[in-house]
């Protein structure tokens, strides 16, 4: 019997995502000026206020207020009417030094013996139902909000948009887990009060979403996904009828409250640890990236159509306590999932420092991951500029989204004795 599956995304202007981006901007600045920084930064945003908290061990000093304001302005909160603006909000810093009890379990005389920054389990997931090996409902949700933000910044076709927005996509699957059609699309977007009549505003917003946003996103999608759009899709656009009050003025935002949006939209599994504001010694982040890297390369190599990888750690301990693989019965090799996991453990070094080195995680690469998902983006080289009244100005060429690279496909094929990759 066919079934429905739903995933959601939130925009860069969503309160929780503002908090994530500020936390990762602080992390990037610490790593830019001191790559060995140990950072765990949390952010709270609410009406007219930003509160920064957490623990840091670093040889650098930052103007954290200026960094937070820059992030807020770049997102688009630049007007007093929003009751939250980068130029006028208060910024309170409660950041303090990292606990020595934690640090002694992480820092070692030899970096190769670096222990995990915390206990816990982390998951990575990949599926061949999309070209970027991400769950389809989440991928479309992200694309809807990326395009909506582009329209907001362009300010031409839909001039009344404000930064806060959410999207949700429901897809019908067949019994053999093949997407059949899009059943429902939900979009809630913050907007200016451009008409005294709420009904007139809502009608205009619905018209613009259906006639401008949806066609723009549809054109970006491969043909097989475009075919899932149909005349029977149920659209819920600003279902409350009005969305003028939004952002941190409408709801407070906190770092780490969108962990499902950040990962796989409810597919696979999640260990519960957030990403943003954490340096790579925190395996909540680095091991989750490494697990995604493993899962994606396994699927791309043709090991299975769908793969979940779990890795777990004890704080201060170098080797992971377990590595688990689930292929959901889609394996193309004559090995049990347990035997696949053993080969994975031999192929991928999952010690914390080895992950940092393999994925180049001691670089300032995190702000770009803090909105529209940490997984599924295209790896690329960019030059980033960091300026500080205390440290001067530096330029760094860095590689983003290294955990999305398919650089282990041939190694996986060789390890599992596969001749060729299964094409989509």
Residues annotated within a binding site for K(+) = 42
Residues annotated within a binding site for L-methionine = 55, 98, 251, 282
Model pLDDT for residues 141-163, shown as the tens digit of each residue: 999 999 999 999 999 999 999 99
Q: Where does the pLDDT of residue 114 fall: very low under 50, low under 70, confident under 90, or very high at 90 and above?
A: confident
Model pLDDT for residues 270-316, shown as the tens digit of each residue: 999 999 999 999 999 999 999 999 999 999 999 999 999 999 999 98
Please determine, for residue 421, whether its predicted confidence score (pLDDT) is greater than 80.
no
Please determine, for residue 102, whether its predicted confidence score (pLDDT) is greater than 80.
no
Specify the pTM. Answer: 0.94
Please determine, for residue 363, whether its predicted confidence score (pLDDT) is greater than 60.
yes
Q: How far is CA 67 from the centre of its chain?
A: 20
Those residues whose C-beta lies under 8 Å from the C-beta of residue 352, and which sit 6 or more positions away, are: 106, 114, 115, 116, 117, 280, 281, 283, 286, 287, 313, 318
Beta strand 90-97 pairing with 49-57: parallel
Q: Structural domains in the chain?
A: 3-8+136-245 (3.30.300.10), 120-128+280-415 (3.30.300.10)
Please determine, for residue 236, whether its predicted confidence score (pLDDT) is greater than 80.
yes
- Which of 98 and 355 is assigned the larger pLDDT? 355
Task: Report the half-sphere exposure of 392 (CA within 13 A, side-chain side).
Answer: 3
Q: Where does the pLDDT of residue 111 fall: very low under 50, low under 70, confident under 90, or very high at 90 and above?
A: low
Residues annotated within a binding site for ATP = 14, 164-166, 242-243, 251, 257-258, 274, 278
178-195: average pLDDT: 97
Residues annotated within a binding site for Mg(2+) = 16
pLDDT at 309: 98
Residues annotated within a binding site = 14, 16, 42, 55, 98, 164-166, 242-243, 251, 257-258, 274, 278, 282
Please determine, for residue 386, whether its predicted confidence score (pLDDT) is greater than 80.
yes
Are the CB atoms for 60 and 73 separated by under 8 Å? no
Tell me how far apart the terminal alpha carbons of the chain are, to the nearest angstrom.
Answer: 24
41 backbone dihedrals φ, ψ, rounded to 5°: -105, 130
Q: Where does the pLDDT of residue 116 fall: very low under 50, low under 70, confident under 90, or very high at 90 and above?
A: confident
């Amino acid at each position: 019997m066919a079934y429905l599956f739903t995933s959601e995304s939130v925009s860069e202007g969503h309160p929780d995502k503002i908090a994530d981006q500020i936390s990762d901007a602080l992390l990037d600045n610490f790593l830019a000026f001191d790559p060995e920084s140990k950072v765990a930064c949390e952010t709270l945003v609410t009406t007219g206020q930003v509160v920064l908290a957490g623990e840091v061990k670093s040889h650098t000093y930052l103007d954290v207020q200026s960094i937070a304001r820059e992030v807020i302005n770049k997102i688009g909160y630049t007007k007093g009417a929003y009751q939250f603006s980068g130029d006028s909000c208060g910024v309170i810093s409660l950041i303090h030094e990292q606990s020595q009890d934690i640090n002694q379990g992480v820092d070692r005389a030899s970096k190769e013996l670096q222990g995990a920054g915390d206990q816990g389990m982390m998951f990575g997931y990949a599926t061949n139902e999309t070209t970027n090996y991400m769950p389809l409902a989440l991928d479309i949700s992200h694309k809807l909000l990326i395009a909506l933000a582009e329209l907001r910044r362009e300010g031409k076709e839909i001039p009344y948009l404000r930064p806060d927005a959410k999207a949700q996509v429901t897809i019908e699957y067949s019994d053999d887990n093949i997407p059949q059609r899009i059943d429902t699309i939900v979009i809630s977007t913050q907007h200016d009060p451009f008409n005294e009549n709420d009904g007139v505003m809502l009608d205009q917003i619905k018209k613009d979403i259906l006639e401008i946003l949806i066609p723009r996103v549809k054109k970006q999608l491969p043909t097989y996904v475009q075919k899932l759009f149909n005349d029977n899709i149920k659209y819920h656009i600003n279902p409350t009828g009005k969305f003028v009050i939004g952002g941190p003025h409408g709801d407070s935002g906190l770092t780490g409250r969108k962990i499902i949006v950040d990962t796989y939209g409810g597919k696979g599994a999640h260990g519960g640890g957030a990403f943003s504001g954490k340096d790579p010694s925190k395996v909540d982040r680095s091991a989750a990236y490494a697990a995604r890297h493993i899962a994606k390369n396994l699927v791309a190599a043709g090991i299975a159509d769908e793969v979940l990888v779990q890795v777990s750690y004890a704080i201060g301990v170098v080797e992971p306590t377990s590595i688990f693989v689930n292929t959901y019965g889609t394996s193309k090799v004559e090995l049990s999932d347990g035997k696949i996991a053993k080969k994975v453990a031999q192929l991928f070094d999952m010690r914390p420092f080895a992950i940092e080195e393999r994925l180049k995680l001691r670089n300032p690469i995190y702000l770009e991951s803090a909105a529209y998902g940490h997984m599924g983006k295209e790896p690329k080289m960019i030059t980033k500029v960091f300026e500080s009244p205390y440290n001067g100005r530096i330029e760094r060429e860095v590689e983003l989204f290294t955990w999305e690279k398919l650089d282990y496909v041939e190694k996986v094929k060789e390890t599992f004795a596969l001749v060729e990759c299964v094409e989509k």
